[in-house]
Structure 1
């Protein structure tokens, strides 16, 4: 029997044949690749780099993703970054494409290792200050109480693109007090993608050393001017000075505004929420829901809406994951959502659950841990809201993080935390990563908005 031998085709020959395909065909091929694979294709050749860098590629890639009707693309994946000073931990969502992300950075480690693509700084103390979508605002700081000498970077951990912001003007020594930092981006009105956007970095300080104040000092960097500007802002209410608790809760960007909690430093209780409009440089105050029993409040964003998580203040006789037996009836946890945002603000109750009603599908595992470790006793700590399912919140019981469905009362094991969590950042995974544009000089005109 005759055997036909198929001549071997070298990889270089295949590559050259692919290069001969029309650009429209190459676009369709790349559109079908996973996002990370498409990014890696930029290093194949100058031709591929120019294709993927073309201003029409990103809208086409995103449009193709939105046409796919499978479950993966029905909701965008996300990743939580849990931070303890210069240590961090990665907590991806179920549909996250973070396998390659974790492969690069690991489940946990130091911020220096995680952000090693950034240029070496003078102080080598990197701290994530804020996040927006898939971008991070990172500070290379020398002292926690004085960040004027530190460098600020805006970076995308997936693409490893970054830029260094100009140094802010030197502060008066009397202003060297704890501050909050906010970061907010928004696309230009002409754009439907994240290819072109503007952003602001806001540093918020109290002007006095007293327990309360009505004036705040704002330092704002705008990508439209590439400069820092300073201004005094008057609050309609007296505000408590910033504490460790307010720093841990952080600054949340939502609806083009920055939000932070007004926390009583003595007892750690949240008294209300401050809203700052960076466009109008205006402050407003929103009161939380009034409940008969005082509770701890955490807050975050779910699909563009501000949400609160109320947890009870208690001394438990027996607290285990999936079952909390308290001495009183104040063991409810609840979720509230802000509606009627443009006026005084009205809160709508979304969920209220008694801790006794939570059933863990991992009960056997956790019951064993309870028997072995008394450290599981303690309060339930809020981590974050699930970004695609409004019924799910992430909670921490001792060193265990679970996803808890507030409607079904079912919890699922998510991760083990080996550090004390001091801050939490949401890292989105959009259909195409947000590019980092270089800063323009005063004499340069912005590029046309091909988006």
Structure 2
């Protein structure tokens, strides 16, 4: 999602079909067919450019597939060219695609996907700037923690900054921890806070009692506009809750969820109405702007 527009993909045995959709106006643009799919796993992303009148002046769709050797196979579509172009970019180190990872994350003019550094056992972000540096990618390690198990975590954009939030094992001294990007060019993170379970509270009685029973909780997303709110999922009670960073309070944010498994953060997309709606651009390539009834 970029500037209120959403990149959608229609799955089919034939080459994937991509659309750019405006949920407010219900208009969508069909992109030309891309390369063959075969059995590859793809990760896609959308970057848009907007002028002072909130009109879209251009957009770029990026998708990459399996890694081969130390190179990244990438395909990019731009509204200026109206066609898909293949790139083979050198990758700094061997990395592995995270199938269930979130992404992409748009921040600092770049798209970011979560990857796993082979042979190093470290999670990281793969960053790509199609407008500034379209011929290279970079690897940004995520904060290293000392949790007793692999923590549940999310990485996302909040108020123009990359943030990393994790929920540790119930036996760890701190339950919640959060870092923000201090220096993007250097890939340096700064720890904003670490919170113990005993520091949390809630005005909801059921949720308050649950806090002291060591129930499972999973992070879902950051609030798109409020940097002090993080959304999480509780397994008992089965609710989505909001965590306020300033007062360390948990509030119920949803009705009971009738599922027994946790929601993948990659499937939890926070969407709010944009302050200024962005109009879908007239395609410079052969396509039609359609309206969904």
**What TM bracket, shorter-length normalisation?**
0.7 to 0.9
Deviation track 1:280-327 (CA, whole Å, cap 9, x = no partner) reads 221111122233335343100001111101221x3xxxxxxxxxxx4x
Residues of 1 paired with 2:269 and 2:49: CA distance?
18
Q: Does the Cα contact within 8 Å between 2:67 and 2:95 map onto a contact in 1?
A: no
CA distance, structure 2, for counterparts of residue 430 and residue 407 of structure 1: 25
Q: How many residues align?
A: 272
CA 1:193–1:365: 2 relative to 1, 3 Å: farther
1:348 and 2:218 matched? no
Given the superposition, is the C-alpha separation of residues 263 and 424 from structure 1 closer, same or farther in structure 2, using an over 3 Å criterion? farther
Match of 2:94, SS? strand
Superposed structure 1 runs of 4+ greater than 6 Å apart: none
Which residue of 2 is the match for residue 225 of structure 1? 81
Structure 1 residue 138 and structure 2 residue 8: aligned?
yes
Preserved contact between residue 186 and residue 256 of structure 1 (Cα < 8 Å):
no
- Choose which of 374, 379, 385 in structure 1 pairs with 2:222: 385
Q: Does 1:154 align with 2:20?
A: yes
After superposition, the Cα gap between the structure-2 partners of 1:378 and 1:410, relative to the gap in structure 1 and judged at 3 Å, is closer
Change (3 A) 1:403 1:296: closer
Unaligned stretches of 5+ residues in structure 2: 287-293
Partner residue in 1 for 2:166: 310
Q: Is the 8 A contact 2:95 2:118 kept in 1?
A: no
Is residue 431 from structure 1 mapped to residue 283 from structure 2 by the alignment? no
CA gap 1:333/1:360 in 2 versus in 1, 3 angstroms? same
Partner of 2:144: 290
**Rg larger for:** 1
Distance 1:256 1:236, change over 3 A: same
1:75-224 to structure 2, matched below 5 A, reads: 131-142=1-12, 149-170=15-36, 173=38, 176-187=39-50, 191-208=51-68, 213-224=69-80
TM-score by length of 1: 0.56
Q: What's the CA shift string for 1:108-144, capped at 9, x where partnerless? A: xxxxxxxxxxxxxxxxxxxxxxx1231111111126x
Q: Is the 8 A contact 2:77 2:84 kept in 1?
A: yes
- Contact 2:202–2:208 (CA under 8 A) maintained in structure 1: no
Secondary structure in 1 matching 2:254: strand
Residues 384 and 424 of structure 1, relative CA distance in 2, 3 Å threshold? same
Q: Give the 3-state SS of the residue equivalent to 2:207 in structure 1.
A: helix
Q: Which position in structure 2 is the counterpart of 1:410?
A: 249
Question: How far did residue 270 of structure 1 move?
Answer: 5.5
TM-score (norm 2): 0.83
- Cα displacement (A) at 1:180: 0.9
Q: Which of the numbers 194, 206, 218 marks the counterpart of 1:365? A: 206
Is the 8 Å Cα contact of residues 110 and 127 (structure 2) preserved in structure 1? yes
Q: Is the 8 A contact 1:333 1:352 kept in 2?
A: yes
Residue aligned with 2:224, SS: coil
Q: Distance in 2 between matches of 1:382 and 1:135?
A: 24
Q: Does the 8 A contact of 2:55 with 2:281 survive in 1?
A: no
Deviations 1:46-104 (A, max 9, x none): xxxxxxxxxxxxxxxxxxxxxxxxxxxxxxxxxxxxxxxxxxxxxxxxxxxxxxxxxxx
- With over 3 angstroms needed to count, the CA separation of the structure-2 counterparts of 1:377 and 1:166, relative to structure 1, is farther
CA spacing shift, 1:218–1:250, aligned 2, 3 Å: same
Aligned partners of 1:135 and 1:427 also within 8 Å:
no
**Contact 1:206-1:215 within 8 A present in 2 as well:** no
Aligned-CA RMSD value: 2.5
Q: Cα offset for 1:378?
A: 5.0
Per the alignment, in what secondary structure is the counterpart of residue 84 of structure 2? strand
In structure 2, what is the Cα distance between the partners aligned to 1:366 and 1:441?
A: 53
- Partners of 1:156 and 1:243 in 2: CA distance: 28
Query: 1: CA distance between counterparts of 2:159 and 2:206?
Result: 33
Q: Secondary structure at the match of 1:415?
A: coil
- Whole-angstrom CA distance in 1 between matches of 2:214 and 2:118: 25
1:132–1:427: 8 Å Cα contact kept in structure 2? no
Q: Match of 2:289?
A: none
